[in-house]
Chain A
Amino acid sequence: MDREKRKEEDFSLPRLRAGDRAEFARLVDAYSGVIYRLGLKMLDDPQDAEDILQETFIKAYRYLKDFDGRSSLSTWLYRIATNEALMLIRKRKNVPLSFDEALDPDQEIEKPLQILDWCCMPEKELMSAEARLYMQQAVEQLSPGLRAVFVLRDIEGLSTEETSRVLNLSESAVKTRLSRARMRLRELLTAYFGERMSALGLVEPGDD
C-alpha cells in the first residue's frame, strides 16, 4: 500500500482526539516518512531532520485533542513540522526572526543574470549524483521563507491552497514566493550546469 496516498478517512478522529495509542501509531506509521523527508529537504542534516520528526509527533500527540478538523490531518502535520524546521533554521544559523521580512520574500522578482541554454545536456549529466547534491545545496541557499514554499510545492507536491494553509500565507503570496524560489534556483543551476558544459566541451569559450 502506498502510504503517502493513504486517505484521511482511514483515521478515526474521535479515537485520535481521545488519545488512542494504536490509532496514533497508525498515524505515525503513515506520515513519519514524509515528515522526515520534509526535515531533510529543509535543513539537509539527518540529525536536524530526526529532531523535527520527533518534535512534530510529540506536539501532534499533545495537541490532537484540540485538532478541529478544519484542515486535513496531513496539512496540520506539515504545518507543525514546517514551523519546527523554520525555528531550527533560525536557531542554527543564528538568524534573527526578522530575517525573512528584511529580505522581503514577496518583493519583485530579481532579473535573470545567467542566460545559457543547458537544457540539451545529456540526462545522465543532469541527474548525476553530483548534480543532485548540488541541487539540494541550492535549495539550502534559498531564504527560509522561500525554501519552505518551494519544498512544500515542488518537492512534497502540495497544492497552492494546501501550502497557503500550512504556512498561513495568502495563495498569491505562495505563488509569488514559489516564482522567486524557482527563478533563484534556475540561476544557481545555470551557473552549475554552465560549468559542466564548459568542462564537457559542450560550449565554446566566450559563448556564454
Chain B
Amino acid sequence: MTLKIDRQAYYWPALFGFAILFFANFVANPIFVSHDNWRPVLLGAAPFIITTWAQTVPIMSGNGDLDLSVGPLAGLVNAIAAVTLPSLGLTDPFSMITIALGIGVASGLLNGFLVTIVRVQPIIATLGTFLTYQGLTLEVLPTAGGSAPPWMRVISGESFGVPGIVWVFVIIAVLWWLLGKTAYRRNLLAVGGDIRAAYTAGVNVTAVRIVAFVIAGVLASVTGLVFTATLGSADPTVGAPYILTSIAGVALGGVAFSGGRGGLLGAAAGGALLFLIENLFSLAQVSIYYIQIAYGSILLAALALNSITDRIRRRKAAAALV
C-alpha cells in the first residue's frame, strides 16, 4: 500500500496530461509560474482539486456510488460560514471548522444511509440531496453577501512565503496517507473491486460505503470553507458547477468508475487539469460558454479513455489466465 514507482499505475496518464497543460499555461502566460501568481493559482485550483478528491472516494467504493451533492454542499457550507455562523456570533476557527465538518459528516451519513440502507440508486439519492442543499443555500442567502471572519486569511493569505491553501492540501494528503495505513483503504478497494468477494470475506461493506460518503461530505465542507476564505463572502451559485468538474476530474484522474482502482494523486491531477483548462480559456479570452463545451467533451473523452484502459487491463488479466 506504499507509494511505489509503478509504470502501470493508474495515475500516469493524468500526471502526463497535467504536465502538458501546465506547460501550455506557461507558454500562454509566462507569468503563470511566477512566485506572485502561486497563491491565486492555487486558490483557484483548490475547489477543483478538493471536490474531485471528495468525489473519488465514493466512486472508488464502486457499485455505482457517486456523490452529486459535493458541489452544492460546498456552496451550502460557504453560505452558512459567511452568513449564519457570524449572525450567531460563531466566528472563531474552532467553532467554524467543527460545525462545517459536522455538516459534512451529517451529509455523508445521510447520503450513505439513503444509498446503502434505503437502497436508493446513488445517482438519484445524491441528486435529491443536491437539490435540497441548493434550496437550503438560497434560503440562507438569496443573493451574494455575508463576510468571512479575519482568521480565514490563514487560508487565503500567505505565511512564511507559503500560500495558506498549501497547508489545506498537505493536511488532506497526510490524513489520506494515514488512512491508507489503516485497514480502510484495503476494505474500500475490496468493496469497489467486487462487493460479493468483500462481503463473503467478512468485510462490513455497508460501513465501508457509508464512510466513503462521509469522507466525500467532509471534503466538500472543506471546499466550502475554502470558498469562504477565497471570496471573503458567500455566493449561492458558487457550488453547483463543481458537480460536473468533480466527476470529470475523477475520470481524468484514472480512477475506475467501476470501483476498486484509484487514489488521491490521480484525482488531484485530474482536478488540476480542469482548472488549467479553464485558466487557459480565460487567458485566451474565450467565452465562458465554450468552457462548458470543453468540460463536457473532456468528460466524455476521459470516460472513453477510462473504459478503453479498463478493457486493456481486463484483456491482460484474461491472457494471464490461459
Does A pair with B? no
Interface residues of A (CB under 8 A from B): none
